[in-house]
Chain A
């Protein structure tokens, strides 16, 4: 179990690096919000995997809270930009 855990943590870390590059080189705001969602999902998975590696078993609660904050942040950033686009339409 330990070896498979380390392999999967490495794979997800490489994927995290690629999604950060996607965030940096995105052309429009919608792709950036999509990359933020992707990074948040991957960090939840990383917290869960490192929780099984260590002796502490309380990492699951932290992952649950992180998933909640990820969803709220996506919706709120999107609502902010949607209102901005609406204001630009009425001008």
Chain B
């Protein structure tokens, strides 16, 4: 058991928990998107990096790297589209 893998893995898990608690506690929708983006970018980066270090340079690591790139692109795109729809169609007044 390597120390670096364990530290990266536990940091990723703690980041996922913090982002989710933030999504539960914030009052506004736009603040919640901020908390969800933490989980989408930082937590996936740490956990998949730890798994790549654990597996070494194999085909499995290439697949994990592809999943990381895919989650980075699609997570940001989905939240961007969601926020644009909220700004366009929401009935609530937004504090500027």
Q: Interface residues, chain A, CB within 8 Å of chain B?
A: 1-5, 7-8, 11-12, 14-15, 18-19, 21-22, 28, 30-31, 33-35, 37-38, 41-42, 44-45, 48-49, 52, 57, 60-61, 63-64, 67-68, 70-71, 74-75, 78, 81-82, 85-86
**In contact, A49 and B32 (Cβ under 8 angstroms):** no
Which of B50-96 touch A at CB < 8 Å? 51, 54, 60, 63-64, 66-67, 70-71, 74-75, 77-79, 81-82, 85-86, 89-90, 92
Whether A67 and B1, one on each chain, are in contact in the complex, defined by CB atoms closer than 8 angstroms, is no
Question: Is B13 a contact of A41 with CB atoms below 8 Å?
Answer: no
Nearest A residue to B43 via CB reads A45
| Residues in B lying within 8 Å of A, measured CB to CB | 1-2, 5-6, 9-10, 12-14, 16-17, 19-21, 23-24, 29, 32-33, 36, 39-40, 43-44, 47-48, 51, 54, 60, 63-64, 66-67, 70-71, 74-75, 77-79, 81-82, 85-86, 89-90, 92
Instruction: Chain A residues near B54: list those with CB within 8 A.
Output: 1, 52
A11 contacts which of B14, B48, B67, B77 (Cβ < 8 Å)? B14
Distance, CA A78 to CA B14, complexed state (A)? 30
**Complex Cα distance A35/B74, Å?**
15
Given contacts A8-B12, A85-B89, contact A30 B29 (CB under 8 A): yes
Number of CB contacts from chain A to chain B under 8 A: 134
Name the CB-closest residue of A to B28.
A31
Instruction: State whether A4 touches B1 (Cβ < 8 A).
Output: yes
Contact A57 B60 (CB under 8 A): yes
B82 and A30 within 8 A (CB): yes
A42–B13 Cα distance when bound, in Å, is 10
